[in-house]
Structure 1
Amino acid sequence: MTVLSENVTTGRSRPDFETFFVRYGLFLLVLAAFLLFAWLRPTFISAGNINDMLRSASIAAIMFLGLTWIIAAGEIDVSFMSVAALANMIVAGLVAAGYGWPLACLGGLLAGVVFGLINGGLVAGFKLPALVITIATGGLAGSIAAAIGLGTSISLSSTGFVGSVLHANIGIVPLITVVVAVVYGLSYVIQEHLTFGHYLYAMEQNRAAVVEAGVPVNRILFLLYILSGTVSAIAGILLTADLSSGQPYIGSSYFIDGLTAVLLGGMALKYGKPNVIGTLAAVLLLAALLSGAALLGWTDSQRQIVRGLLLLFGVAVVVWARRKNRAHI
């Protein structure tokens, strides 16, 4: 009887431990990264460095929010970074031409909405393959961004009200980080507690069944692509103020980071399912790696290798988990 009890206890404790590791392993990895870099380079946890990390992570988190839900629904958007670059160049071009920051921001935001409408209309409305469509629209957005500055950057002497908001702090925490935390908190509620969130994961697992159940799948996809275009444009606007310039090719640096954050974030909470909390944790991990690597003197190629390995791992985890889940359906 004693042996039986011990076996039962062991059998219960092992799944509990595995479940805990699966759900919270990414958060432990983020904590480990911060502790390791703080130990190797104490300046890593200085107030100025923490502030810079949180600001850059906040901009990235805004850009990747729409992408997270699109991938969670079983689709893809590889135009997000080019839309951000286009919004960045539109704002810089208009400000440099003397139109002022409010009108320039409106122009950048409008570009994001337009590309979201195009992506959503072609993918959800005409049922064209999302990868092909977003590669095409991303190329178009990137080409327009380069054309605005004739292939070069546009420097700005003032960052306007956007710069004031972006560099406002609450203690050592940027105000934008607090805003992003609230947005992601609301997104988590939508994702976990509203019907809309449940539809996202159901669409990825068995879209035909969701359609038969009367769920407006195409309308949801349409809205998701508009969301992705909009938040990408907002991130591009913030980058204009953060860099005090328009950079036509800035989107390329966010491509791998965006996919890595979303897919690696699929390790957290919902194994194999991209979710907003996982994306936020992965963004913090990438920000820590970028800052820590810079302080340690890593070359750009070394940082790219680490990013590539993380992306490969994230893809492997998500694909494996999705195949396992479908095998049980």
Structure 2
Amino acid sequence: MSAVLSSTASRPPRGGFDARRFLVRYGLFFLLVALVVAFSWMRPSFASAANINDILRTASISAIMFLGLTWIIAAGEIDVSFMSVAALGTMIVAGLIQTGAGWPLASAVAVFFGLVFGCLNGLLVAVMRLPALVITIATGGLAGSIAAAIGKGTSIPFNSVGFVGIVLNANVDIVPVLAILVIALYGLALVLQDRTTFGHYIYAMEQNREAVVEAGVPASRLLFLLYGLSGVLSAVAGVFLAADLSSGQPYIGASYFIDGLTAVLLGGMALKMGKPNVIGTLVGVLLLASLLSGAALLGWTDSQRQIVRAALLITGVALVVWTRRKTRAQL
């Protein structure tokens, strides 16, 4: 088992300072800073307190949604149902609020169904060993269809945002309380990822799942847990989205599909050289939120923004694949 775990660690550079390695590991951080500086220079309103608050709030909801996806991809699998589960969460909340249910009940039901879809993915992919891409496309389609059916193909507006709206709109100076909670969540995730056997097993599964199983690690159970976590976090993000939009939106998930994969895969280059990780995802989310906000202030069209997002996704995929191949060639 030690051999499997050691293979997940990044090898130290041979010789002196490796400029290329340094640029790959920290390039995403430099890109984020450069983007913020450029937009602030071109549009000073970008750096206003109100806009920073909006960016952080938007990024916080996305960060919750993409956290579970990060570890699933780190384990060598995929989940493309996360955004549909979030959309379903918004519709469940809106439908129940419209019928007179309170926010605690509506939120709990939404999270429960997120858990159901996460466990369904886990059962089919982790336990029955069916192909993850096909399965999560199917379960995502099911979640999206249920979301559309709840509102009969349209959104469901409501007026009361309850305690979720209070949390969403609360601030400490210009920083949303939700952003502080997300930082705490990602801090806990970082400890689990880098300081426990749980995190080591996740990366070991991507390197050689059969070796992990032979070493006595319950790989199927771990993967089942990761899919369940992804479903729950997607639904929680859906609850916050419903409060943010004051409505349930059955088709909102489509806008998060490219963003989720881009944040995780592009973020996979940060620190761990081709391995998706929570810090990389968080930086990727902030980069995308800043990009969309700055692009809107500059008057970019939706198609222009989509082109940039797609280019970033392609870049992230290419860099992760290239880095993994190079790393394995050195083993």
TM range (shorter): over 0.9
The partner residue of 1:187 within 186, 189, 198 is: 189
1:102 matched residue in structure 2: 104
User: How many Å separate the matches in 1 of 2:328 and 2:217?
Assistant: 20
Q: Secondary structure at the match of 2:152?
A: coil
Give the partner amino acid of 2:269: M
Is structure 2 residue 35 aligned with structure 1 residue 33?
yes
Give the partner amino acid of 2:117: F
Shift of 1:18: 2.8
The partner residue of 1:283 within 282, 285, 306 is: 285
Give the partner amino acid of 1:315: V
Shift of 1:267: 1.0
1:223 matched residue in structure 2: 225
2:216 matched residue in structure 1: 214
User: How many Å separate the matches in 1 of 2:213 and 2:326?
Assistant: 23
Root-mean-square deviation (CA), in Å? Answer: 1.0
How many residue pairs end up in the alignment?
318
Query: What aligned pairs does 1:194-209 form with structure 2 within 5 A after superposition?
Result: 194-209=196-211
Shift of 1:23: 1.7
Shift of 1:27: 0.5
Query: What aligned pairs does 1:51-90 form with structure 2 within 5 A after superposition?
Result: 51-90=53-92
Give the partner amino acid of 1:159: V
Identity of aligned residues (%): 71
Give the partner amino acid of 1:153: S
Any stretches of 5+ residues in structure 2 without a counterpart?
A: 1-13
Deviations 1:275-294 (A, max 9, x none): 00000000000000000000
User: How many Å separate the matches in 1 of 2:132 and 2:263?
Assistant: 20
1:48 matched residue in structure 2: 50
User: How many Å separate the matches in 2 of 1:174 and 1:13?
Assistant: 42
Deviations 1:35-78 (A, max 9, x none): 00000000001000000000000000000000000000000000
2:172 matched residue in structure 1: 170
Q: Secondary structure at the match of 1:250?
A: coil
Is structure 2 residue 321 aligned with structure 1 residue 319?
yes
User: How many Å separate the matches in 2 of 1:173 and 1:20?
Assistant: 31
Deviations 1:72-126 (A, max 9, x none): 0000000000000001100000001111111111110111000011000111111
User: How many Å separate the matches in 1 of 2:127 and 2:269?
Assistant: 31
User: How many Å separate the matches in 2 of 1:192 and 1:34?
Assistant: 29
Q: Secondary structure at the match of 1:312?
A: helix
TM-score by length of 1: 0.95
Q: Secondary structure at the match of 1:138?
A: helix
2:113 matched residue in structure 1: 111
1:126 matched residue in structure 2: 128
Q: Secondary structure at the match of 2:101?
A: coil
Any stretches of 5+ residues in structure 1 without a counterpart?
A: 1-10
